Amino acid sequence: MGALPARPVYARVDLGALAHNLRAITAASGGAKIMAVVKANAYGHGLVPVAQLFERLGADALAVAVPEEGAALRAAGVAAPILVMGALLPQQFPILFDNGLAFSATAPESLAAIDAAAAERGVRAPVHLKLDTGMQRVGVQWRAAGAFIEQALRCKHVQIAGVYSHFAAADEANLASARLQLECFLEALQNFERLRAPLPLRHIANSGAVLQLPEAQLDLVRPGILLYGVYPSDECARSIAVRPALGLHAAVTHVKQLAAGTPVSYGGSWQSAQAVTLATLPIGYGDGYMRALSSRAPVLLRGKRYGVAGRVCMDQLLVNVAADTVDVGETATLLGSDGTQEISAAELAQLAGTIAYEVLTNIGARVPRVYAGP
Protein backbone atom coordinates (compact mmCIF):
# COMPACT_ATOMS: atom_id res chain seq x y z
CA MET A 1 0.00 0.00 0.00
CA GLY A 2 1.15 3.54 -0.70
CA ALA A 3 2.27 5.85 2.10
CA LEU A 4 -0.53 6.94 4.37
CA PRO A 5 -1.58 10.59 4.11
CA ALA A 6 -0.92 13.12 6.86
CA ARG A 7 -4.63 13.45 7.46
CA PRO A 8 -5.69 10.57 9.70
CA VAL A 9 -8.57 9.66 7.41
CA TYR A 10 -8.27 7.71 4.16
CA ALA A 11 -10.05 5.41 1.76
CA ARG A 12 -8.03 2.33 0.85
CA VAL A 13 -8.68 1.10 -2.68
CA ASP A 14 -7.68 -2.48 -3.47
CA LEU A 15 -6.49 -2.52 -7.10
CA GLY A 16 -6.25 -6.29 -7.01
CA ALA A 17 -9.94 -6.53 -6.16
CA LEU A 18 -10.82 -4.17 -9.01
CA ALA A 19 -8.73 -6.24 -11.42
CA HIS A 20 -10.40 -9.45 -10.22
CA ASN A 21 -13.86 -7.92 -10.67
CA LEU A 22 -13.19 -6.73 -14.21
CA ARG A 23 -11.80 -10.11 -15.22
CA ALA A 24 -14.73 -11.97 -13.64
CA ILE A 25 -17.26 -9.75 -15.41
CA THR A 26 -15.42 -10.11 -18.70
CA ALA A 27 -15.40 -13.91 -18.38
CA ALA A 28 -19.15 -13.93 -17.71
CA SER A 29 -20.11 -11.57 -20.53
CA GLY A 30 -20.05 -14.00 -23.41
CA GLY A 31 -17.51 -12.15 -25.54
CA ALA A 32 -19.32 -8.80 -25.32
CA LYS A 33 -17.11 -5.73 -25.16
CA ILE A 34 -16.75 -4.07 -21.75
CA MET A 35 -17.55 -0.39 -21.20
CA ALA A 36 -16.41 0.24 -17.63
CA VAL A 37 -18.52 2.90 -15.94
CA VAL A 38 -16.24 5.28 -14.00
CA LYS A 39 -18.60 8.21 -13.42
CA ALA A 40 -18.90 9.93 -10.03
CA ASN A 41 -15.20 9.59 -9.28
CA ALA A 42 -15.33 5.89 -10.19
CA TYR A 43 -18.08 5.36 -7.62
CA GLY A 44 -15.91 7.04 -5.02
CA HIS A 45 -12.81 4.97 -5.78
CA GLY A 46 -10.89 7.65 -7.70
CA LEU A 47 -11.59 8.51 -11.33
CA VAL A 48 -8.13 8.62 -12.87
CA PRO A 49 -6.34 5.71 -11.14
CA VAL A 50 -9.31 3.40 -11.61
CA ALA A 51 -9.83 4.31 -15.27
CA GLN A 52 -6.12 3.86 -15.94
CA LEU A 53 -6.26 0.43 -14.34
CA PHE A 54 -9.29 -0.66 -16.35
CA GLU A 55 -7.69 0.58 -19.56
CA ARG A 56 -4.48 -1.34 -18.82
CA LEU A 57 -6.51 -4.46 -18.14
CA GLY A 58 -8.23 -4.29 -21.50
CA ALA A 59 -11.56 -2.55 -20.98
CA ASP A 60 -12.81 -1.66 -24.46
CA ALA A 61 -14.33 1.68 -23.45
CA LEU A 62 -15.18 3.86 -20.47
CA ALA A 63 -18.36 5.69 -19.54
CA VAL A 64 -18.71 8.94 -17.63
CA ALA A 65 -21.66 11.14 -16.72
CA VAL A 66 -20.34 14.62 -17.53
CA PRO A 67 -17.82 15.92 -20.08
CA GLU A 68 -15.46 17.21 -17.39
CA GLU A 69 -14.87 13.64 -16.21
CA GLY A 70 -13.86 12.65 -19.72
CA ALA A 71 -11.58 15.67 -20.04
CA ALA A 72 -9.84 14.75 -16.79
CA LEU A 73 -9.17 11.26 -18.12
CA ARG A 74 -7.74 12.58 -21.38
CA ALA A 75 -5.50 14.97 -19.43
CA ALA A 76 -4.21 11.93 -17.52
CA GLY A 77 -3.35 10.13 -20.75
CA VAL A 78 -6.32 7.75 -20.96
CA ALA A 79 -6.78 6.92 -24.67
CA ALA A 80 -9.70 4.46 -24.58
CA PRO A 81 -13.03 5.47 -26.15
CA ILE A 82 -15.09 7.43 -23.62
CA LEU A 83 -18.85 7.87 -23.80
CA VAL A 84 -20.52 10.77 -22.02
CA MET A 85 -23.88 9.38 -20.95
CA GLY A 86 -26.93 11.56 -20.54
CA ALA A 87 -28.39 14.65 -22.18
CA LEU A 88 -26.04 17.43 -23.29
CA LEU A 89 -26.52 21.13 -23.95
CA PRO A 90 -24.65 22.94 -26.76
CA GLN A 91 -22.41 24.85 -24.34
CA GLN A 92 -20.95 21.49 -23.29
CA PHE A 93 -20.07 20.36 -26.82
CA PRO A 94 -16.61 21.98 -27.02
CA ILE A 95 -15.34 19.85 -24.13
CA LEU A 96 -16.36 16.69 -26.00
CA PHE A 97 -14.88 17.82 -29.31
CA ASP A 98 -11.63 19.01 -27.74
CA ASN A 99 -11.13 15.73 -25.89
CA GLY A 100 -12.36 13.21 -28.43
CA LEU A 101 -15.34 12.08 -26.36
CA ALA A 102 -18.40 10.30 -27.71
CA PHE A 103 -21.74 12.11 -27.51
CA SER A 104 -25.09 10.76 -26.38
CA ALA A 105 -27.87 11.96 -28.67
CA THR A 106 -31.00 11.86 -26.55
CA ALA A 107 -33.54 13.65 -28.77
CA PRO A 108 -33.92 14.72 -32.41
CA GLU A 109 -33.01 18.28 -31.37
CA SER A 110 -29.81 17.22 -29.63
CA LEU A 111 -28.81 15.10 -32.62
CA ALA A 112 -29.33 18.06 -34.97
CA ALA A 113 -27.33 20.33 -32.66
CA ILE A 114 -24.43 17.85 -32.50
CA ASP A 115 -24.43 17.53 -36.31
CA ALA A 116 -24.42 21.30 -36.76
CA ALA A 117 -21.62 21.82 -34.24
CA ALA A 118 -19.54 19.10 -35.87
CA ALA A 119 -20.11 20.68 -39.29
CA GLU A 120 -18.77 24.00 -37.99
CA ARG A 121 -15.60 22.23 -36.88
CA GLY A 122 -15.34 20.17 -40.04
CA VAL A 123 -15.31 16.88 -38.14
CA ARG A 124 -17.56 13.89 -37.58
CA ALA A 125 -18.82 13.45 -34.04
CA PRO A 126 -19.00 9.92 -32.61
CA VAL A 127 -22.55 9.54 -31.32
CA HIS A 128 -24.43 6.90 -29.38
CA LEU A 129 -28.17 7.11 -29.97
CA LYS A 130 -30.10 6.88 -26.70
CA LEU A 131 -33.46 5.11 -26.79
CA ASP A 132 -35.92 5.19 -23.90
CA THR A 133 -37.42 1.76 -23.30
CA GLY A 134 -38.94 2.46 -19.91
CA MET A 135 -36.62 4.52 -17.70
CA GLN A 136 -38.33 7.80 -18.67
CA ARG A 137 -35.27 10.00 -18.03
CA VAL A 138 -33.78 10.88 -21.40
CA GLY A 139 -33.80 9.31 -24.83
CA VAL A 140 -36.13 8.94 -27.78
CA GLN A 141 -39.13 6.71 -27.08
CA TRP A 142 -38.39 3.33 -28.61
CA ARG A 143 -41.52 3.45 -30.77
CA ALA A 144 -40.12 6.56 -32.47
CA ALA A 145 -36.70 5.01 -33.04
CA GLY A 146 -37.22 4.60 -36.78
CA ALA A 147 -37.45 8.31 -37.50
CA PHE A 148 -34.57 9.02 -35.10
CA ILE A 149 -32.29 6.50 -36.80
CA GLU A 150 -33.26 7.85 -40.22
CA GLN A 151 -32.33 11.34 -39.03
CA ALA A 152 -28.98 10.08 -37.75
CA LEU A 153 -28.23 8.39 -41.07
CA ARG A 154 -28.89 11.68 -42.87
CA CYS A 155 -26.47 13.59 -40.62
CA LYS A 156 -23.29 14.16 -42.60
CA HIS A 157 -21.17 15.03 -39.58
CA VAL A 158 -22.25 12.26 -37.23
CA GLN A 159 -20.71 8.82 -36.92
CA ILE A 160 -23.23 6.43 -35.35
CA ALA A 161 -20.91 4.66 -32.93
CA GLY A 162 -23.58 2.97 -30.84
CA VAL A 163 -27.22 2.70 -29.86
CA TYR A 164 -28.24 2.10 -26.29
CA SER A 165 -30.85 2.09 -23.58
CA HIS A 166 -30.92 1.64 -19.82
CA PHE A 167 -32.73 -0.82 -17.56
CA ALA A 168 -34.90 0.51 -14.76
CA ALA A 169 -35.24 -2.74 -12.79
CA ALA A 170 -32.69 -5.31 -13.94
CA ASP A 171 -31.50 -5.73 -10.34
CA GLU A 172 -34.86 -6.98 -9.02
CA ALA A 173 -35.94 -10.56 -8.45
CA ASN A 174 -38.88 -10.09 -10.80
CA LEU A 175 -37.36 -9.47 -14.22
CA ALA A 176 -40.60 -9.09 -16.16
CA SER A 177 -40.21 -5.36 -16.74
CA ALA A 178 -36.52 -5.74 -17.65
CA ARG A 179 -37.36 -8.41 -20.20
CA LEU A 180 -40.05 -6.15 -21.64
CA GLN A 181 -37.50 -3.33 -21.95
CA LEU A 182 -35.10 -5.64 -23.75
CA GLU A 183 -37.87 -6.74 -26.10
CA CYS A 184 -38.69 -3.10 -26.89
CA PHE A 185 -35.01 -2.32 -27.49
CA LEU A 186 -34.54 -5.24 -29.86
CA GLU A 187 -37.68 -4.29 -31.75
CA ALA A 188 -36.40 -0.73 -32.15
CA LEU A 189 -33.10 -2.04 -33.47
CA GLN A 190 -34.90 -3.73 -36.35
CA ASN A 191 -35.09 -0.29 -37.94
CA PHE A 192 -31.42 -0.59 -38.91
CA GLU A 193 -32.23 -3.68 -40.96
CA ARG A 194 -35.32 -1.99 -42.41
CA LEU A 195 -33.17 0.95 -43.46
CA ARG A 196 -30.41 -1.36 -44.72
CA ALA A 197 -27.98 0.36 -42.39
CA PRO A 198 -25.16 -1.38 -40.51
CA LEU A 199 -25.81 -2.05 -36.84
CA PRO A 200 -23.63 -0.01 -34.50
CA LEU A 201 -22.60 -1.26 -31.09
CA ARG A 202 -25.75 -2.24 -29.19
CA HIS A 203 -25.72 -1.93 -25.41
CA ILE A 204 -28.26 -2.00 -22.61
CA ALA A 205 -26.83 -4.28 -19.89
CA ASN A 206 -25.93 -2.61 -16.60
CA SER A 207 -24.63 -4.44 -13.52
CA GLY A 208 -27.99 -6.03 -12.74
CA ALA A 209 -28.36 -7.31 -16.29
CA VAL A 210 -24.78 -8.59 -16.35
CA LEU A 211 -25.69 -10.70 -13.33
CA GLN A 212 -29.19 -11.78 -14.29
CA LEU A 213 -29.94 -11.28 -17.99
CA PRO A 214 -27.29 -12.88 -20.21
CA GLU A 215 -29.60 -12.39 -23.20
CA ALA A 216 -29.05 -8.64 -22.79
CA GLN A 217 -25.29 -8.79 -23.29
CA LEU A 218 -25.50 -7.98 -27.02
CA ASP A 219 -22.34 -6.28 -28.31
CA LEU A 220 -21.24 -4.44 -25.19
CA VAL A 221 -22.06 -4.38 -21.47
CA ARG A 222 -21.81 -1.43 -19.08
CA PRO A 223 -20.96 -2.70 -15.58
CA GLY A 224 -20.89 -0.04 -12.90
CA ILE A 225 -21.17 -0.83 -9.20
CA LEU A 226 -20.38 -4.50 -9.83
CA LEU A 227 -16.87 -3.51 -10.92
CA TYR A 228 -16.33 -2.13 -7.43
CA GLY A 229 -17.29 -5.35 -5.71
CA VAL A 230 -20.79 -4.35 -4.63
CA TYR A 231 -24.00 -5.99 -5.83
CA PRO A 232 -26.64 -3.59 -7.13
CA SER A 233 -29.37 -4.76 -4.75
CA ASP A 234 -30.17 -7.37 -2.13
CA GLU A 235 -32.54 -9.07 -4.58
CA CYS A 236 -30.00 -9.43 -7.36
CA ALA A 237 -28.45 -12.82 -8.10
CA ARG A 238 -24.81 -13.23 -7.03
CA SER A 239 -23.92 -15.07 -10.23
CA ILE A 240 -20.45 -13.46 -10.44
CA ALA A 241 -18.13 -13.50 -7.44
CA VAL A 242 -16.76 -10.00 -6.88
CA ARG A 243 -14.70 -8.45 -4.09
CA PRO A 244 -15.35 -5.09 -2.39
CA ALA A 245 -12.50 -2.77 -3.29
CA LEU A 246 -12.87 0.16 -0.91
CA GLY A 247 -12.30 0.52 2.82
CA LEU A 248 -12.84 3.72 4.80
CA HIS A 249 -10.59 4.29 7.79
CA ALA A 250 -9.89 6.94 10.41
CA ALA A 251 -7.46 7.16 13.30
CA VAL A 252 -8.60 7.82 16.85
CA THR A 253 -7.71 11.40 17.77
CA HIS A 254 -9.12 11.63 21.31
CA VAL A 255 -10.29 9.29 24.07
CA LYS A 256 -12.37 10.16 27.12
CA GLN A 257 -14.31 8.45 29.89
CA LEU A 258 -17.86 9.57 30.57
CA ALA A 259 -20.07 9.07 33.55
CA ALA A 260 -23.39 7.32 33.14
CA GLY A 261 -26.14 9.53 31.77
CA THR A 262 -23.83 12.10 30.12
CA PRO A 263 -25.43 13.56 26.93
CA VAL A 264 -23.25 13.16 23.85
CA SER A 265 -22.81 15.25 20.67
CA TYR A 266 -25.23 17.77 19.15
CA GLY A 267 -28.60 17.81 20.84
CA GLY A 268 -27.45 15.36 23.50
CA SER A 269 -29.53 12.71 21.77
CA TRP A 270 -27.40 9.79 23.00
CA GLN A 271 -26.34 8.79 26.48
CA SER A 272 -25.35 5.57 28.20
CA ALA A 273 -26.83 4.03 31.32
CA GLN A 274 -23.30 3.03 32.33
CA ALA A 275 -19.95 4.76 32.44
CA VAL A 276 -18.34 4.45 29.01
CA THR A 277 -15.23 5.25 27.03
CA LEU A 278 -15.69 7.31 23.86
CA ALA A 279 -13.23 7.52 20.97
CA THR A 280 -13.27 10.51 18.63
CA LEU A 281 -12.70 9.98 14.90
CA PRO A 282 -11.90 12.96 12.62
CA ILE A 283 -14.48 12.16 9.96
CA GLY A 284 -18.06 13.30 9.47
CA TYR A 285 -20.77 14.15 7.00
CA GLY A 286 -18.45 16.75 5.43
CA ASP A 287 -16.46 13.73 4.24
CA GLY A 288 -19.57 11.92 3.06
CA TYR A 289 -20.11 9.78 6.15
CA MET A 290 -23.84 10.32 6.36
CA ARG A 291 -25.53 11.98 9.32
CA ALA A 292 -28.29 9.39 8.96
CA LEU A 293 -25.82 6.89 10.47
CA SER A 294 -25.88 8.73 13.81
CA SER A 295 -26.20 6.32 16.77
CA ARG A 296 -26.82 3.49 14.26
CA ALA A 297 -23.70 2.52 12.37
CA PRO A 298 -21.04 0.08 13.51
CA VAL A 299 -17.35 0.92 13.63
CA LEU A 300 -14.55 -1.64 13.82
CA LEU A 301 -11.63 -1.27 16.26
CA ARG A 302 -9.19 -4.05 17.10
CA GLY A 303 -11.39 -6.43 15.13
CA LYS A 304 -14.46 -5.76 17.29
CA ARG A 305 -17.74 -4.01 16.53
CA TYR A 306 -18.69 -0.86 18.37
CA GLY A 307 -21.32 1.76 17.67
CA VAL A 308 -21.43 5.41 16.66
CA ALA A 309 -22.53 7.40 19.70
CA GLY A 310 -24.71 10.44 19.11
CA ARG A 311 -25.03 12.58 16.04
CA VAL A 312 -22.39 12.49 13.32
CA CYS A 313 -20.87 15.99 13.07
CA MET A 314 -19.55 17.67 9.94
CA ASP A 315 -15.94 16.74 10.68
CA GLN A 316 -15.97 14.31 13.61
CA LEU A 317 -17.92 11.48 15.19
CA LEU A 318 -17.82 9.54 18.44
CA VAL A 319 -17.59 5.81 18.99
CA ASN A 320 -18.78 4.03 22.11
CA VAL A 321 -16.14 1.44 23.04
CA ALA A 322 -18.00 0.67 26.28
CA ALA A 323 -15.62 -0.67 28.94
CA ASP A 324 -12.82 -1.50 26.49
CA THR A 325 -9.63 0.46 26.05
CA VAL A 326 -8.43 2.23 22.93
CA ASP A 327 -5.41 4.40 22.22
CA VAL A 328 -5.04 7.62 20.32
CA GLY A 329 -3.63 6.83 16.87
CA GLU A 330 -5.32 3.44 16.48
CA THR A 331 -7.05 2.90 13.15
CA ALA A 332 -10.80 2.41 13.02
CA THR A 333 -12.68 0.96 10.06
CA LEU A 334 -15.97 2.56 9.05
CA LEU A 335 -16.36 0.59 5.82
CA GLY A 336 -14.51 -2.60 5.01
CA SER A 337 -13.03 -5.38 7.10
CA ASP A 338 -10.92 -5.78 10.22
CA GLY A 339 -10.07 -9.32 11.22
CA THR A 340 -13.17 -11.47 10.87
CA GLN A 341 -15.54 -8.50 11.03
CA GLU A 342 -16.81 -6.57 8.01
CA ILE A 343 -18.97 -3.53 7.44
CA SER A 344 -20.36 -3.53 3.90
CA ALA A 345 -21.71 -0.67 1.84
CA ALA A 346 -25.01 -2.54 1.74
CA GLU A 347 -25.16 -2.64 5.55
CA LEU A 348 -24.50 1.09 5.87
CA ALA A 349 -27.04 1.79 3.15
CA GLN A 350 -29.72 -0.16 4.98
CA LEU A 351 -28.98 1.69 8.21
CA ALA A 352 -29.09 5.07 6.45
CA GLY A 353 -32.20 4.28 4.42
CA THR A 354 -30.44 4.57 1.08
CA ILE A 355 -28.52 2.42 -1.44
CA ALA A 356 -24.92 1.27 -1.59
CA TYR A 357 -24.30 3.54 -4.60
CA GLU A 358 -24.85 6.61 -2.41
CA VAL A 359 -22.66 5.27 0.40
CA LEU A 360 -19.73 4.94 -2.01
CA THR A 361 -20.18 8.07 -4.11
CA ASN A 362 -20.73 10.21 -1.02
CA ILE A 363 -17.12 9.75 0.09
CA GLY A 364 -15.80 13.24 -0.53
CA ALA A 365 -12.77 14.62 -2.29
CA ARG A 366 -11.10 15.66 0.95
CA VAL A 367 -10.76 11.99 1.92
CA PRO A 368 -7.41 10.87 0.49
CA ARG A 369 -7.41 7.68 -1.57
CA VAL A 370 -4.60 5.21 -0.97
CA TYR A 371 -4.09 2.49 -3.59
CA ALA A 372 -2.92 -0.98 -2.71
CA GLY A 373 -2.22 -4.17 -4.65
CA PRO A 374 -0.85 -4.96 -8.09
Q: What is the pLDDT of residue 5?
A: 83
* Closest to 332 in 3D by CA, of 303, 367, 290, 289: 303
The model's pTM is: 0.96
Q: Are strands 317-320 and 276-281 parallel, antiparallel or unpaired?
A: antiparallel
Question: Cβ-count burial of 239 within 10 angstroms (0-12 exposed, 13-18 middle, 19+ buried)?
Answer: exposed
Q: What is the pLDDT of residue 2?
A: 65
Q: What is the pLDDT of residue 1?
A: 65
Cα–Cα distance between 178 and 88 in angstroms, integer?
A: 26
Q: What is the pLDDT of residue 105?
A: 98
pLDDT digit string (tens) for 335-347?
999 999 999 999 9
Q: What is the pLDDT of residue 4?
A: 80
* Spans of the chain, pLDDT less than 70: 1-2
CA 322 to each of CA 276, 279, 298: distance values in angstroms, whole numbers, following the listed order: 5, 10, 13
Amino acid making up residue 22: L
The domains of the chain, with CATH numbers, are 15-228 (3.20.20.10), 246-343 (2.40.37.10)
Q: What is the pLDDT of residue 43?
A: 98
Q: What is the pLDDT of residue 3?
A: 75
Active site residues: 39, 266
